[in-house]
Amino acid sequence: MPDPRRFPAIAGALLAILFPVSRAAAQDAAAIVVADNATGHVLISRNPNKRLEIGSLTNIATAMVILDWFELHKHDINEPVTIPDEAATFPDNPIGFLPGDQVTIRDLLYAALMQSDDVATDSLAMYVGRELPTTSRDETPIQAFVAQMNALARKLGMRNTLFVDATGLGLNERRTAYSCAADLAQLTRYAVSRSQFRFYVSQQARDITIDHATAAPTGYVLANTNDLLGVDSIDGVRTGTNRRTGPCVIISAGRPPESVQVGDRYIITPRRLIVVVLGSENRFDAAHQLLTAGWQAYDKWAAAGRPLKGG
């Protein structure tokens, strides 16, 4: 089977052969990638390196900087964070956080990853950003935090990615953030390697608690924006929408590991796919159908010995 990374022009034809229905749903997408999580091998792609705005898919990088920082410094994920005045001005505040409210790191991560709450996301970035080293006296906590996001992107080899804020809102008038489907597949592979991240994004609903400065604590039930959770073993990852690119989604799904006996040894191969769909009005249909096509491509690739190069 030709490698679609080397021959992107045939990606549409490959989709039609592997899973005819997926062509209609996926062809309207600005970019797609289906990749093996274990190796990063790309099974299906179209426009994988096209730079696009990605909206709140940015939160995957935000969450990983936060989780990495907390793990490095051995902080308690149940630490309370006070919602700062600056964060509470964000327009996308479905939970209704107010300045002075206190919420745990854990609950803010749920709010950011499950329900795209920008107040939660920016509050987390400010909290961690205040503890990060700065490159100049004028650098703000958010700028220090975003620098770490871009450092993570460089570490992962994301050559077509630039982050300018923690939320993906694109409010920075001087620079425009961008990424591509191939880079986001790499980022997602890194994220799903962490059990904490996988747990956060796999929840369909979650209760969180908000401690108010001048009133009794209140609860809020978060609802995950990923409509595909639980379908065909899909257990993540993230949705996003951007005014220029349109609706986007990244999903992840696993199968039981493959066990093959070779002499006296058993070779265990994990099986998980990452599907990235950018700019599709039918993002959930496209992602679901690409997952099916991806497993078909995976089975053929596995039967050929899982070659990582060539066709």
Topology classification of domain 8-303: Beta-lactamase (3.40.710)
> Which pTM was predicted?
0.90
The pLDDT tens digits of the residues spanning 159-206 come to 999 999 999 987 766 789 999 999 999 999 999 999 999 999 999 999
Domain ranges across the chain: 8-303
- Does residue 153 sit in helix, strand or coil? helix
Q: Is 128 within 8 Å of 65 (Cβ atoms)?
A: yes
Contacts of 62 (CB under 8 A, 6+ apart): 112, 121, 124, 125, 149, 166, 167
Is the pLDDT reported for residue 311 higher than 80?
no
Res. 153: pLDDT tops 60: yes
In Å, how far are 39, 46, 257 from 302, measured between CA atoms? Answer: 12, 21, 13
62 band by pLDDT with thresholds 50, 70 and 90: very high
Strand 246-262, strand 265-278: pairing: antiparallel
CA distances to 26, 45, 109 from 114, in Å: 24, 27, 8
pLDDT value at position 172?
A: 65
209-246: pLDDT as tens digits? 999 988 899 999 999 999 999 999 999 999 999 889 99
Going by C-alpha positions, the residue among 61, 273, 36 that lies closest to residue 187 is 61
> Between residues 13 and 168, which one has the greater pLDDT?
168
For residue 131, what pLDDT band results from cuts at 50, 70 and 90? very high
Distance of alpha carbon 150 from the chain centroid: 15
